[in-house]
Chains A and B, each alone.
Chain A
Amino acid sequence: MCIMILSIISCTKKNKETNDEFKELLAEIDNKSIEEIKKEINSNVKTFEKFVSFFDDPSFKDEIKKIAKEDESYGSLYKIDTSKINDAMNQFADIKFQQQFESNKTKLKFIFPGRFNDPVSLGEGVSEYYTPQKVYYSNGKTETETEGFKKRVSSDFFYDWGNAIPIDSMKIDYKIKYITEIDSVTLSKNNPKVNYGGGEIRIEEIKDNYIYITKSSSIKEILKYQAMNDEGKILDGSSSMSGSFSPKRQKKVIRGLLSAFKTLQTKLNEDKFENASQVKDYIIKKFGKLDYFTRSSLYHKELFYRGNVASIKLFFEKESKKIETNFIARNISNYGDLIPMAKAKRDTTMFINKNGEEQFKVAGNYVAVNSRFYTDDKFYYHLNVAQKEMTKLLAFNITGMDKMVAVQQEESGLIALFDLENKQLSPYKYNEIYPYKNTILASMADKICRLDDLGNAKIIKDVLNIDDEIEGMIMVQSEKGKYGFLNSSGEIAVPLKYERTNSFTEGLAFVSKSDRKFGFIDKTGKEIIPFIYYSHYKSNGFENGVAIVQTKKGEILKLNKKGEILN
């Protein structure tokens, strides 16, 4: 039933010439008991009625009216925009996804590098397709996705991804299709009929801000409608409606369908049918005749514009090209042996293992800090696996890492480390903990140290301040104010001897010694480009293999990665 209603509600539905919908209606009836059918019809008729009442609401549709010249609003020429394709093909260096578990099912949402975690948005005439190819589960198994795989790769919402089994990563195919050549036909009052692509397109009505056209269903999909006023200015669109019926008949056809359903509803409620197959026969007999299921093969489109329409140009795709790539997306969480899954309207949390098998449950709804520490609105907890319960912890803040947590008892207090069994690994002595991708650093009094998984700290000599990790290198500063870099394991890779530094870009960093002469070093500290420059120019490093620097005399030079001058 829902399919019926949804298909009517979508005003921009494509034309279907066959009786596919009728077959779908019958398919819905199959395998259902008469009671189930009765229940569904009763609830859906109500929704359907509300929807039909929209047609009676005058504000539902735009008014046909003349727009004054000064009130006209103009749009822009339709152009295919391929400018973002390159960015889109290169955005997949570090794609992650979040996995949620609830009631033995899982949902995924993807995290792209965009400002709102969204992918690069493509221009007009360009479309993209994500197809998951292979899934790598946390338990070591892999699964190759079959053709017609319907799981969605989306950054907006969490979408269903099947049964609750933790996923480590997956391989996804990415395809871009962009239109390389477009075709167009123009219709106007003086030229209301055009033959194209084996069919006919016709203006049925054109008046003031309104135009209504029909197209034979044998013609392919119209890419874009562009209306113009009598001066040839392109008008801004206001609203549009399309369907397989003319506007005049639409109301009648839908009402016809509604009344057929209502009659069926009454008969069902009066128990006029003995079994489901009698219902099916009735439907075949009565519904099969309805206009809704025996429609013509024309596509009808009504459009309203913010101006008075004189002509309309229709664009079609003539030729397109495809390019492909693939990438690996990784789970943002590193799962331990027990993973929380919400159950029973979120009153209970069931712990599952890497195979998705239920292990034990606890009351309440929690967010994981790591595999053994959890939190809700009010408290922090430690998961006591032996007792199968959550132990309340009264700390001000707990930060989770893979194998341990950093606990701060008071806001003004120091931090101590605890292991996954909630055993204290160190005294309360740290000011701050900095978890990086492959190493954990901590600050203590005036020192920075590197922590291992057992909470042992090794002081990194000379380092006073640390910064973000970029391209696997962490910028650090000594007490004397000199800069260097740690590698991603937290070891000194570039000695702390530079007066000024910039972050690494494409493997090289623009640094200077005390004589204020800049050059480029690589990640081992080796000086690759000689220290003869005065400053960088506009960007602080390499972009697409080129860096722009400035000499003391003010000359601006373009360098490649070997230090050769390009301009």
Chain B
Amino acid sequence: MKIKALLILLLIISACSKPDKYDLSQIKSLNDLSAVIDSMKNDNVEMDMTSVVKEITGKGMHYRGVPVKSMMVYDNAIRIYTDSAAYSGKKLLEQLETENGFGNYKEGYNNQPEFTWENDVKYSLLTVNFVDGKNLAKMGEKDFSTLYITFPKKYNVPLANIYKEVKKYEEEPNYLLRISHYGCDYEIKIDGIVIEKFYEKEYNKDSFSLNHFLLTKGSHKLQINIKPAHQKTRFKEAASFEAKIIDNSIDSIVSQKNIRRGHLYEKKSRKHSFDMTFNANIPYNNNGWFTGENLRKEPKLKEKVIHLYEKLGKAFLDKDEALISSLYYDMTLETKQSYYHNDFKSSSETCEELLKFKDKMYKYTVSKDFEIKYSDDGKLIYTTPAENDKQGMLTITGKGFSESFNYFMYQPKNTNELKIIRK
């Protein structure tokens, strides 16, 4: 009975009110946009597409029911203005939050509230303009909004679609190593892999993300080697060192070590080492270099390293998007998985950055003289050029453009070639 009454009610209402025809929230690509504009042209909706500023001012547009006053059209974006009546400004914000969930918020130019949402279809930026309202908690009837929607470029390579492969979990631990020290130089190893070398550090506080080196759930060992700062032979009296491993997703300390001041000086040692073992409760499983060959036994390692960097340099030079994508795929997927980044924008930006290099460069050089550092189990290697002035194993150069690359590599079992696996 209730349902029948509702239907009749709706039919009556539908007779009195006619919903606006063009729902701009349904536009999911530049093709959709063209189709909507064509349909509006057929219906003689008022618009000016001929001048530099392309604007549609006719009636009939709405965004999920919120009336739209006008829309401006750009190369790969649109800007929508609500009218300033009947709480349109407030309603558009609420519709966008219903459509996309809560967005990122900040106060933009002129203290106007700005909300952003990004997904694999469009990036939306909503700006609220107060007319008779005071703030978001006290919005006025006349407040209106501007919604700027960009349709990002889509790349056709697997690298661009990595976000689809990244899994999300209930609990997403994010392990961070936080160091606070005075008068020390240090080296950090995680599970036998050097992730931070000794060098003259300016900051007394530092933090390092660990997740991308943690392949599975379980026990992991962090080893820290400390030396006196500035290559001195003895620690200063005030030298101290504190390390904490934190799960940043819940702000809790997992393991910590504190060497008080005076302790290092009293020991009169030239160096000091300690371990921190902790339990990483990570939900994902990255293969990483787990099934890698022991590269200490590899006789042609040097040639293989050069071969891989040459392959990458040539891929940039030949503008071979497919090859670039495949060389970076495993590393990118595993790294994004370890930080649970399953959003389109993150994948898209990484992909775009890597693919843009090919357009800026016109030559590459690979360092032939380098040092190889092995992980404790020999499966993972990292190489650094021997010449001081070279910043990376592979350097790509263009007009006023230069970029250098150094990667961790491993050789998958039963294969003959090295693979890039971490940065």
Contact = CB atoms under 8 A, between A and B. Distances in A.
Interface string B379-398: 00000000001110001011
Given A379-B362, A394-B362, A394-B363, A410 B399 contact: no
B400 interface: yes
B398 A410 contact: no
B365 interface: yes
Contacts of A396: 397-402
B395 A410 contact: yes
A45 B255 CA distance: 82
A59 interface: no
A375 B362 CA distance: 14
A408 to B, nearest CB: 10
A542 to B, nearest CB: 41
Nearest to B390: A412
A439 interface: no
Nearest to A414: B389
Contacts of B401: 396
B339 to A, nearest CB: 30
A396 B401 CA distance: 7
Nearest to A375: B399
Contacts of A413: 389
Contacts of B402: 396, 410-412
A397 B401 CA distance: 9
Contacts of A375: 399
Given A379-B362, A394-B362, A394-B363, A411 B397 contact: yes
B362 A397 contact: no
Contacts, number: 34
Contacts of A378: 362, 398-399
Interface in B347-367: 362-363, 365
A397 B390 CA distance: 17
B398 A409 contact: no
Interface in A240-280: none
A292 interface: no
A380 B365 contact: no
B400 A412 contact: no
Nearest to B392: A412
B399 A409 contact: no
A396 B403 CA distance: 11
Contacts of A412: 389-391, 395, 402
Interface string B153-196: 00000000000000000000000000000000000000000000
A461 to B, nearest CB: 27
A131 B265 CA distance: 79
Contacts of B362: 378-379, 394
Interface residues of A, number: 14
Given A394-B363, A410-B365, A379 B391 contact: no
B1 to A, nearest CB: 57
Nearest to B403: A411
Interface string A536-563: 0000000000000000000000000000
Nearest to A411: B402
Contacts of B400: 396-397
Given A394-B362, A410-B365, A379 B399 contact: yes
Nearest to B400: A397
Interface in A415-447: none
Interface in A442-494: none
A543 B363 CA distance: 53
Contacts of A380: 399
Nearest to A410: B397
A244 B397 CA distance: 65
Nearest to A377: B399
A379 B359 CA distance: 12
Nearest to B385: A412
A410 B404 CA distance: 11
Interface string A363-377: 000000000000101
Contacts of B398: 378, 396
A81 to B, nearest CB: 35
A396 B391 CA distance: 15
A397 B362 CA distance: 13
A368 to B, nearest CB: 15
Contacts of B390: 412
A378 B397 CA distance: 11
Nearest to B362: A394
Contacts of A394: 362-363, 397
A170 B238 CA distance: 69
A55 B360 CA distance: 52
Chain B CB within 10 Å, residue with most, of A377, A379, A394, A412:
A412
Contacts of A377: 399
Nearest to A396: B397
Interface string B287-312: 00000000000000000000000000
A444 to B, nearest CB: 14
Interface string B12-40: 00000000000000000000000000000
Interface in A378-396: 378-380, 394-396
Chain A CB within 10 Å, residue with most, of B363, B365, B397, B400:
B397
B196 to A, nearest CB: 23
A377 B395 CA distance: 20
B319 to A, nearest CB: 13
A218 to B, nearest CB: 46
A395 B402 CA distance: 11
B117 to A, nearest CB: 34
A395 B363 CA distance: 9
A492 to B, nearest CB: 31
A474 to B, nearest CB: 27
Interface string B42-65: 000000000000000000000000
Contacts of A410: 365, 395, 397, 402
A375 B398 CA distance: 12
Nearest to B401: A396
A412 B391 CA distance: 8
Interface string B392-420: 00010111111000000000000000000
A246 to B, nearest CB: 35
Contacts of A395: 399
Interface in A274-324: none
Contacts of A397: 399-400
Nearest to B389: A412
A395 B362 CA distance: 9
B384 to A, nearest CB: 14
Contacts of A409: 397
B367 to A, nearest CB: 11
Nearest to B363: A394
Contacts of B389: 412-413
Nearest to A398: B399
A365 to B, nearest CB: 15
Chain B CB within 10 Å, residue with most, of A375, A379, A411:
A411
Contacts of A379: 362, 399
A372 B363 CA distance: 23
A414 to B, nearest CB: 9
Interface in A398-413: 409-413
A4 B55 CA distance: 31
A397 B398 CA distance: 9
Nearest to B402: A411
A379 B401 CA distance: 11
B42 to A, nearest CB: 27
A559 B362 CA distance: 60
A396 B395 CA distance: 11
Which 5 A/B pairs are nearest by Cβ-Cβ distance? A411-B402, A412-B389, A394-B363, A394-B362, A396-B397
14 contacts: A377-B399, A378-B398, A378-B399, A380-B399, A394-B363, A394-B397, A396-B402, A410-B365, A410-B395, A410-B402, A411-B397, A411-B402, A412-B390, A412-B395
Given A375-B399, A396-B402, A412-B395, 6 more contacts: A378-B362, A396-B397, A396-B398, A397-B400, A410-B395, A413-B389
Interface of B: 362-363, 365, 389-391, 395, 397-402
